[in-house]
A and B are shown apart, each in its own frame.
Chain A
Amino acid sequence: AQSVAQPEDQVNVAEGNPLTVKCTYSVSGNPYLFWYVQYPNRGLQFLLKYITGDNLVKGSYGFEAEFNKSQTSFHLKKPSALVSDSALYFCAVRSAGRRALTFGSGTRLQVQP
């Protein structure tokens, strides 16, 4: 079985401040972890993924995520938020024995000017 939890429905941050969107996962074996973003009236877009190797993964639009095996977490981060980062963010996981991703419930990020 594989599952993902995004504990925050919404995260509010001021423009220029660092942001974190939280994600924890549960899988059997090694996880493959992903972040996707959905802008208003748009389809989901891939941001970044962790497969193996360095625990800090860098992705599109200045985002990065840190894989923490002991805490089973994969939090999304950005050093300085932009108003244009306001969107719905989804964490997703796949275990080695599965072909398809399981997505979390999503976290809405609101960046205030």
Chain B
Amino acid sequence: DVKVTQSSRYLVKRTGEKVFLECVQDMDHENMFWYRQDPGLGLRLIYFSYDVKMKEKGDIPEGYSVSREKKERFSLILESASTNQTSMYLCASSFGTGGSSNNSPLHFGNGTRLTVT
């Protein structure tokens, strides 16, 4: 069974801090994603990566960056945390390198609830 592990379940940070959210998957998936989930807005894509050291901006990349140095690990970085980044952050991974394999199901972690004060 695929396991996507997010390093923290709950995190509280201060405004202006640099924040790292870590995600590790154990199924050798090529694709990894970071979404944020907010009530009434659903899931919004921040960044994704389809290969090591490759990244693409999603719909709301402002204020975030990512790092994928190893295939199994995808980190989300908040360069200078702000209160409007208080949210639930979901990491996901999927198999495939393009074409029809882009329709492989996403496997999600349990999420990190980040509060910025």
Interface of A with B (CB < 8 Å)?
A: 6, 9, 32, 34, 36, 41-46, 49, 51, 90, 92, 94, 99-106
Tell me whether A105 and B42 are in contact (CB under 8 A).
yes
Residues of A within 8 Å of B35, CB to CB, are 103
List 9 A-B pairs, minimum CB-CB distance, nearest first.
A46-B105, A43-B108, A103-B43, A105-B42, A44-B108, A43-B110, A103-B42, A106-B42, A100-B48
- Residues of B near any A CB (own CB < 8 A): 4, 31, 33, 35, 40-45, 48, 50, 56, 58-59, 90, 92, 98, 100, 102-103, 105-111
The residue that A100 contacts in the complex, of B4, B40, B45, B98, with Cβ under 8 A, is B45
Residue of A nearest to B38 (CB): A105
Closest chain A residue to B91, Cβ basis: A43
Q: For B110, what are the chain A residues with a Cβ–Cβ distance below 8 Å?
A: 41-43
Whether B102 lies near A44 (C-beta < 8 A) is: no
CB distance from A36 to the nearest CB of B (A): 8
A102 touches B90 (CB 8 A): no
